[in-house]
Amino acid sequence: MPGPDVTAPLRTLVPRRRRAGRTAARVGAPLLAAVLAVGALGPAGPAAAAPEPAALPEPGQTFEHYPPMKDQHADRFSMGIFGAGEIEGLLYNYASYTPGNEMKPESTQRDKGVFTYDAAEAAFARYTSRNPDLALYGHTLAWHSQSPTWMWDAPPARFDQPGTFDRDTALANLNTHVENVLGHFGDRLVAVDVVNEAVGTANPADWRGSLAKGEGWYQALGADWVELAFVKAAEVVDAHGWDVKLTYNDFGLDSPAKARVVYEMVKDINARHAGERPGGRPLIEVIGMQGHYNLATDVTAVEQNIRLFASLGDVEVHVTEMDVALPPGELTPEAENNQGMKYAELFKIYRDYGAGPGNTTGNPKVVHAVKLAGVRDVRQGWKGGEFAMPYDYDGNAKLALLGILYPEEFLATHEYVDLPGGGDREPVPGVHVYDTSLGDAWSGANVVLGDDAAVWPWSTTDDGEVAFRPEAGTTYRLTVNYTAKGTTAIRVRWLRDNTNGGYTTGDGAVINDHQYAAGQVATHIPAYFNSGMVNMGSYDLVTEITLDGDQPADGLIGNIGIRGGGGGNAFSINALRVEKLGAGGAAQTVAQWPGEVAQPPATAPAAPTAVTATAGNGTADVSWTAPADDGGSAVTSSTVTAQPGGATCTTDATGCTVTGLSNGTAYTFTVTATNAAGASEASAPSAPVTPFGAPGTRGSVALAVSAEAVCVDGTPRVTVHVRNAERVPVLVAATSPWRGVGGWLVWPGSTVQKTWTVPGASVDAGAVRVTGTGIVAWGAGLSGYDAGYAGVSCG
């Protein structure tokens, strides 16, 4: 292989003029200082001239005109590749190779008990036949994705089949897979990703709960699955005496929250297995920090998280799957410059924490390997159209390569510049559209369907806004117009939250099962549009589906997401419309972007609930709970109606007083709520209450009465309660509708009660007649009351 062309033209680099605009991620990076060498001057000696500023090679040349990346960083860390790439540039630049798909579970054991290694062996041989010294890494033994569902005994979820998960079966399958795959490749591997991407929603205070991804191994084995996989891998490695490092690999570890979860997980697992492995090796030996970055990546957080992992003491850091994606469409000079800056910033950090002897900083020496996710930019596939690699489509070096090879020099001679374009887009409630070409971290859309978990179990929103509220059993048409800018496949998926990765279990189980061409109408979600599209073409992708919110919580329900197939981000969503389909093909737009959301017409609210009443002198104070569903229009008034008699009161609050009631008569009360669309159904009635006169009124006796019917041992019993509200003793009698009279002398403020066992297995609603006799206000007084009760059936 030829070495670098030392005669290649050099250019002196000075900072480009910074564009006026929004913001710059890094402004005013200093020029690499020219040092004035001042020698001792003799009487006739000329002054020493200042040296030229540091120079970097010109970009735009093929790989052999630059030092190999593996040699440039050999004294700090090993430089490798993850996945495939143009073979000559790969062999020239990289010292290690990690296969992208060939070792994943669906590739090595698609059918239970049938292990196939041909694809992986061919991938290894493709490069080792040319470079026998190429170091090999493994990816991956256990993952929730690209794994056959029989591994955890879970058939693919359907609307009526959520799938089952059997712990014993899953653990046996996990152990068998690890034993066979790791046993086959053996000590040919420097390290192997034992577990890939186990963290779901990161909660630094609960690493075990953070593993609840809702799919795969977690469903069968719980949070223990990560530890169980590493225990089995360690058994295999240690039994053979191999020096194969066991790795936990995950994306998003530039996030402080997710990095803390991985730190706590590794710390806890390693502490519980301390001293178990030969030579004091920890159970988890490597943290793989997937480096899928873009121009918005916070390199300060990357460095802080490397320092966090370094504090574990005996755990290495490998940077895996690294790339820096750019806005799709056209590779502009500004974007290329900023990509070089980002690569340079990251590689300066990697060098500053490199484990090799060339690192003379005082930082922890923890970074042992860095692996890029390719060689050249690609037009399709992973990161297709996003210009993510150091060489362009034709294999010519971009500024990114100079940032990788010469990070400090590049940072000293360049600065970030503002990208043209961008600008805010008018928001539409409940519809979130993202585009990397406008500075977002990923491209796609979320359509939020509802915010009431009782109606639409998986749907959640973090801003209180929804695109529309689905009606169960109604058919909707989703039309997405998109332009392919490298990504020529789109998935319409079920999301359980508002993030890019919060997919439902049912969605993940059948993600590729329903495939369509661009011109077809999908009748299923998830729908995979993966044919009939070409780069830079624009297409309408149509899905028609009857929505139903009654599926189990881990099934195919939730919010709708539009995502690039195979993880691609290089596309733009131009328009999105959701229509409600009626009889005869009539369509009503219920959500659209860009534009306004056409909210469904309001309906009458639900009925109020929890109605209670308290009796007074010819009155009753009634209160209730407002309707849970306002029908899409605010409740403006509520009306209380008394039975018997029909007396009412109306208010805009949740309580009012009904007047004009007859003392001694039992009343129940119902409430209706009204909005712009009309009145609700009546609420369930309150328990009966009986108004009574004011104490001390001549000719009457003030008693507070109530009654209830309950079941005891399968038999209805009715109990009446009587409180003397007078200031003098009262003779009270209570008569049931069946038989028996109770009589008591009741002192002021005291209460008595009487219970009757009712013949039969049920009792209808009714009342116990109560009378009070006494001398009130120095005159004889007699009053009668009906203590009402609701019916009850005990059969």
| DSSP sequence for 427-446 | -BTTEEEE-GGGT-SS-EEE
> What average pLDDT score do residues 585-598 get?
78
CA–CA separation, 576 and 565 (whole Å): 18
- Residue 494, CA atoms < 13 Å, CB-side half-sphere: 32
Question: Interior CA angle at 577 toward 564 and 501, to 5°?
Answer: 35
CB 173 within 8 A of CB 181: no
- Say if residues 340 and 399 touch (Cβ distance below 8 Å): yes
- Integer Cα distance of 522 and 661 in angstroms: 63
Residue from 266, 255, 246, 367 nearest 317 by CA: 367
What is the mean predicted confidence (pLDDT) over 266-282?
97
pLDDT digits (tens, 9 = 90+) for 462-473: 777 888 888 878
**Which pLDDT score, from 0 to 100, does residue 507 have?**
80
Distance separating alpha carbons of residues 147 and 177, to the nearest angstrom: 11
pLDDT at residue 596, rounded to an integer: 54
Residue 257 pLDDT greater than 90, yes or no: yes
Could you tell me if 386 and 570 are in contact, meaning their C-beta atoms sit under 8 angstroms apart? yes
What percent of the chain lies above the pLDDT cut of 70? 87
Q: Where is average pLDDT lowest: 363-372, 588-597, 618-627?
A: 588-597
Residue given tokens 């209830």 in the structure block: 708
Domains of the chain: 10-413 (3.20.20.80), 431-593 (no CATH), 609-679 (2.60.40.10), 703-793 (2.60.40)
Q: Would you call 619 helix, strand, or coil by DSSP?
A: coil
The answer to which of 3-17, 80-94, 129-143, 257-271 has the lowest mean pLDDT is: 3-17
Helix or strand or coil: residue 293?
strand
14 pLDDT band (50/70/90 cuts)? very low
Higher pLDDT, 393 or 35: 393
Which amino acid, one-letter code, is at 235?
Answer: E
Cα–Cα distance between 456 and 450 in angstroms, integer?
A: 6
> Tell me, what's the pLDDT at 37?
29
Instruction: Please tell me the predicted confidence (pLDDT) of residue 54.
Output: 58
pLDDT tier, 195 (very low <50, low <70, confident <90, very high otherwise): very high
Please give the Cα distance from 90 to 63 (Å, whole number): 10
At 599, the pLDDT band (50, 70, 90 cuts) reads low
Instruction: Read off the pLDDT of each residue in 673-700 and give the average, rounded to a whole number.
Output: 89
> What is the C-alpha to C-alpha distance for residues 329 and 694, in angstroms, rounded to an integer?
84
Task: Measure the CA–CA gap between 64 and 86, rounded to whole angstroms.
Answer: 13
How many helices and strands in the chain, by DSSP H and E?
A: 13, 37
C-alpha to C-alpha distance for 130 and 128, rounded to whole angstroms: 5
Q: For residues 197 and 145, what is the distance between their CA atoms, to the nearest angstrom? A: 9
**Quick one: pLDDT at residue 625?**
93
Q: How far is 494 from 504, CA to CA, in rounded Å?
A: 6
Q: 491 or 24: which carries more pLDDT confidence?
A: 491
* 403 burial via Cβ count (<10 Å: 0-12, 13-18, 19+): buried
Percentage of the residues of the chain whose pLDDT score is greater than 90: 52
The pLDDT of 99-104, averaged and rounded, is: 95
pLDDT digits (tens, 9 = 90+) for 493-512: 988 777 887 787 778 778 88
Identify any residues that bridge with 709 across adjacent strands, giving them in sequence order: 718
User: What does the DSSP 8-state code read for residue 533?
Assistant: -
Tokens of 112: 């239970």
Q: How confident is the model over 668-678, as a mean pLDDT?
A: 92
Backbone angles phi, psi at 622, to 5 degrees: -115, 135
Q: What is the pLDDT of residue 549?
A: 62
Instruction: Tell me: pLDDT of 601 over 80.
Output: no
Q: What is the DSSP letter of 342?
A: H
Token code pair at residue 339? 């990509």
Question: DSSP code of 391?
Answer: B
Predicted confidence at residue 422, as pLDDT, reads 54
Q: For the chain, first and last CA: distance in Å?
A: 92
Predicted pLDDT of residue 266 = 98
pLDDT-derived band at 6 (thresholds 50, 70, 90) equals very low
Residues 724-763 have pLDDT tens digits of 888 889 899 988 887 667 788 889 889 998 888 888 889 8
- Beta-carbon contacts of residue 235 (< 8 Å; ≥ 6 apart): none
396 CB burial (10 A radius; 0-12, 13-18, 19+): middle
**Euclidean distance between CA atoms 269 and 229, whole angstroms:** 12
Between these two residues, 265 and 147, which has the higher pLDDT value? 265
Nearest to 181 by CA among 209, 141, 136: 141
pLDDT score of 161 more than 50:
no
Average pLDDT, the chain: 85
